[in-house]
């Protein structure tokens, strides 16, 4: 679950109102005091969703009231014509996924390839919210759109990229 920027300051206000120290809240939530501090200072990735729900429960905060109205969504299909391909050092192909904004409560699909748009890092251990403009997760570094093996071994990556991006341009002009 994603939270808006007011979530951390609301946790701090509720904690102080209820006379909890950061250490006491951390012990009840099952995390470190430094994680509580980072959360209160705006680092919304400082705790897992499970711990955030525990904190909300402990402090009497409704977590749904801090969900953003819009989130970033990305097409993680690496062959989608809307995704931008580029040449990396060493001749490999990189992929920057096409992104849009949407509702956290509604599934959206890519208008070009029909894939379900992702709103989080696809790494099961990470799951961080997507960051606009990035090709990789800002938390774990995993590419948002992993290229299939056959594209990693292509003989002329520069030509493939040019052809793909020409198709992309046609889609964007529609």
Taking each helix axis from N to C end, the angle separating 7-17 and 33-40, rounded to the nearest 10 degrees, works out to 120
Q: What does pTM read for this prediction?
A: 0.60
Condensed to tens digits (0 to 9), the pLDDT of residues 125-153 reads: 888 888 777 888 888 998 888 888 777 77
| Cα 93 → chain centroid | 22
Q: Tell me the torsion sign for CA atoms 81, 87, 92, 94.
A: negative
Condensed to tens digits (0 to 9), the pLDDT of residues 36-79 reads: 999 999 887 788 888 988 999 999 988 777 766 678 899 999 88
| Cα 84 to Cα 75, 102, 158, distances in angstroms | 11, 20, 13
* pLDDT exceeds cutoff 60 at 1: no
Q: Where are the domains of the chain?
A: 7-66, 71-173
Reference 7, options 60, 82, 59, 65; nearest CA is 65
User: What is the rounded CA–CA span in Å between residue 19 and residue 28?
Assistant: 14
Task: Report pLDDT for 74.
Answer: 92
Task: Report pLDDT for 93.
Answer: 86
CATH code reported for the domain at 7-66: 1.10.260.40
Percent of the chain having pLDDT more than 70?
Answer: 95
Which residue has tokens 């948002």? 144
């Amino acid at each position: 679950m994603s939270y808006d920027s007011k979530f951390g300051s609301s946790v701090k206000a509720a904690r102080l109102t209820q006379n909890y120290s950061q250490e006491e809240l951390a012990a009840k939530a099952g995390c470190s005091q430094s994680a509580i501090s980072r959360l209160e200072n705006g680092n919304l990735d400082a705790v897992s969703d499970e711990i955030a729900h525990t904190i909300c429960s402990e402090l009497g905060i409704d977590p749904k009231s801090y969900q953003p109205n819009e989130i970033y969504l990305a097409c993680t299909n690496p062959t989608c014509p809307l995704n931008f391909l580029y040449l990396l050092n060493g001749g490999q192909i990189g992929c920057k996924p096409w992104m849009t904004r949407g509702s956290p409560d509604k599934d959206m699909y890519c208008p070009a390839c029909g894939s379900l748009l992702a709103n989080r890092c696809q790494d099961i251990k990470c799951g961080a919210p997507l960051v606009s403009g990035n090709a990789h997760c800002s938390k774990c570094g995993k590419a948002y759109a992993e290229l299939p093996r056959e594209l990693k071994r292509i003989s002329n990556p520069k030509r493939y990229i040019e052809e793909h991006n020409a198709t992309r341009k046609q889609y964007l002009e529609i």
